[in-house]
Amino acid sequence: MGEGPHTRPQWGPQPLANGTTRFALWAPDQPTLSLRTPSGDLPMQAVDGGWFTIDTAAVAPGEGYGFVLPDGFCVPDPAARAQMGNVHGLSTLVDHGAYQWQTNWQGRPWHETVIMELHIGTFTPGGTYRAAIDKLDHLVAAGVTAIELLPLAQFGGNRGWGYDGVLLYAPHNAYGSTDDLKALIDAAHARGLVVFLDVVYNHFGPDGNYLGKYASRFFDADRHTPWGAAIAFDEPAVRDFFIANPLYWLSEFRFDGLRFDAIDHIRDPSERHILVEMASAIRNRFDRPVHLHTEDERNVIFLHPYENGAPTLFTGEWNDDYHNVIHPIATGESEGYYGDFVDNRWGKLARALTEGFIFQGEPSKIHDNTPRGVPSAGQPLTAFVIFNQNHDQVGNRAFGDRLISLTTREMLAALTAVHLLAPQIPLLWMGEEWGETNPFCFFTDFDGDLAAAVRKGRRNEFAKFDAFVDPDTREDIPDPNDMATFAMSRIDWTKPQTPEGAQWLALYSGLLKARANHVVPRLKNIAPYAGRIIEAEHGVVRVAWTMGDGATMTMLFNASDSAVPLPAGQLIAAVEAGALTNAPTGAPLSTVVTLS
């Protein structure tokens, strides 16, 4: 068999005629390989390039299989579509044609997007795909138009954020079956909700990754990430594995788009970067709306070229700069990366609102005063996803504190109006819309030495912060492996029925209604360089945007100690004294948005 891109075996089981399936594994370090089936082990055929294949009907849908190395050790399929149990056991042969889709879904345009980021395991008391279906009507009523699921690829144990996945094609069975996940997506589409999946292509988790036992060339030992040896994306078989993965999620599960985690740690020496090739393959495959957004700490935009107002590769990027400036404004905190955003914070907030990134090549104190970022004003503002908090910004705190626990109601309400009415794409963190105060902690489900190492590593991450210089104080940080750490991270669905929860929900739903009625229709065709700064000092930020229909939208955010003049024009929405108002005065801790 040759080594061309169309002749190499495909990763994962491939259905053939008459109930036969082709099983394949790239195992260049092994001389022989067998397939474990319910009726016994079957020898596989070695083909060119280190691949082994077998066509057989010995495994039926729903039954388990694995690959047996010459020493007798059985490994799961790294491209398994499901697992029988945990990541160390047999993989499950899945019949993806069994699910009957109910919704004829055509997708939604990107500019309508309001994202609710959620973690399946803590989103509901049941923590399953099916349980999440019952909560979708609440999200729609609140004004959310999209849900973004934290990574689902199966990881070690049953509790975790999902960023330590090792079986990148297998939705974690702790949350339900593959059909259960499809039912969630189907139900979301029936309600007009877009569904995104967070995918992790920068590393594999520490528990259950057996690739090194039979395919050491999958990794480049000379290059490293914070989580171990880097992935060798320039190896053809490895490249095939990753290019096929997003296509699989988008086609088999009908996801509407993907969020690519920490792409600054995806290093590829190839002439054509793996991410460019992924996005190109996706754009060539689908004629429905597919939205791809990235997380990239470098503030670069090389993956986001637009032609005639439409993305040709990736659609947008998470803008951490926006969060990193509003957080010290809200809380007064200045440690860690917030140190870059305290000076001239009003000007920096205004720049984030009008140009996207704050750091566009300026030296960063937390990066040894080296330049960070590139000019971003030429991007449409809808290419930026902004948030007041997300899973990282909450969960990476020692005790998982949400922003509501760190600032005043009046400040948070005013900043919420800024967030939800700006032209950028807003993202919320589950429970935020009713003022959830339960923490979201870092949690895992490891055993033995790995559990001890994760516990120690987690606590030592905070040694550089003043509150945790004393090692004894770090012992108070929740143990990631303790079941109680996971349990306390669930959101509380009784809170929206409390007076306080109802008030927060009214604020969020009111602002999102104003966004849907007045902002979203004007985001279509919004041009680059649409924003301009009017005022940004002494606690007052006043900015304006030329919208897609030519109208001017003006925003006033007043965090000063005095009332300030209101912007001219028709009132879109205003928040004052922690609540929506139809009669704004420009008082302290208020936000007013007008249209003219």
Domain harbouring 538, CATH code? 2.60.40.1180
Whether 127 and 161 share a structural domain: yes
185 lies in a domain?
Answer: yes
Higher-scoring residue by pLDDT: 367, 357: 357
317 lies in a domain?
Answer: yes
505 lies in a domain?
Answer: yes
Instruction: Please confirm, yes or no, whether 295 is among the known catalytic residues.
Output: yes
222 lies in a domain?
Answer: no
pLDDT band at 3, cuts 50/70/90? very low
Whether 546 and 425 share a structural domain: no
Q: Residue 234: how many CB atoms within 10 A of its CB? A: 14
Model pLDDT for residues 124-160, shown as the tens digit of each residue = 999 999 999 999 999 999 999 999 999 999 999 999 9
Range of the domain at 568: 501-595
> Among the three residues 441, 466, 497, which one is the final residue of a domain in this structure?
497
Q: Answer whether residue 7 shows pLDDT above 80.
A: no
Model pLDDT for residues 312-356, shown as the tens digit of each residue = 999 999 999 999 999 999 999 999 899 999 999 999 999 999 999
Give the total number of structural domains in the chain. Answer: 2
Whether 470 and 529 share a structural domain: no
32 lies in a domain?
Answer: no
Higher-scoring residue by pLDDT: 112, 464: 112
Whether 563 and 583 share a structural domain: yes
Average pLDDT over residues 563-569: 97
* C-alpha dist (Å) from residue 350 to 6, 286, 384, 414: 50, 37, 15, 15
Q: What pLDDT, on a 0 to 100 scale, did the predictor assign at position 8?
A: 86
- Degrees, nearest 5: CA angle 563-565-571: 110
Average pLDDT over residues 277-289: 96
Q: CB within 8 A of 458, min separation 6: which ones?
A: 442, 477, 480
* Total H helices, total E strands in the chain: 15, 31
How many angstroms from the chain centroid is the CA of residue 160? 14
> Among the three residues 435, 466, 497, which one is the final residue of a domain in this structure?
497
Whether 324 and 297 share a structural domain: yes
Please report the beta strands in 276-354, taking only residues with DSSP state E, as ranges in sequence order.
Answer: 291-294, 306-307, 310-311, 316-318
Dihedral, 232, 233, 239, 244 alpha carbons, nearest 10? 110
Q: Answer whether residue 224 shows pLDDT above 90.
A: no
Q: What percent of the chain has pLDDT over 90?
A: 89
Whether 290 and 417 share a structural domain: yes
75 lies in a domain?
Answer: no
435 lies in a domain?
Answer: yes
Model pLDDT for residues 477-490, shown as the tens digit of each residue = 999 999 999 999 99
Instruction: Please confirm, yes or no, whether 261 is among the known catalytic residues.
Output: yes
Task: Select which of 77, 295, 317, 410 is catalytic.
Answer: 295
Whether 324 and 278 share a structural domain: yes
Whether 175 and 264 share a structural domain: yes
Residue 392 sits in a domain whose CATH number is 3.20.20.80
> Among the three residues 451, 473, 497, which one is the final residue of a domain in this structure?
497
Whether 154 and 193 share a structural domain: yes
Whether 406 and 302 share a structural domain: yes
Whether 470 and 508 share a structural domain: no
Average pLDDT over residues 375-385: 95
- The DSSP secondary structure of 43-66, one letter per residue, reads EPEEEGGGEEEEEESSS-TT-EEE
Whether 170 and 266 share a structural domain: yes
388 lies in a domain?
Answer: yes
Task: Select which of 148, 261, 410, 576 is catalytic.
Answer: 261
- Degrees, nearest 5: CA angle 341-343-347: 80
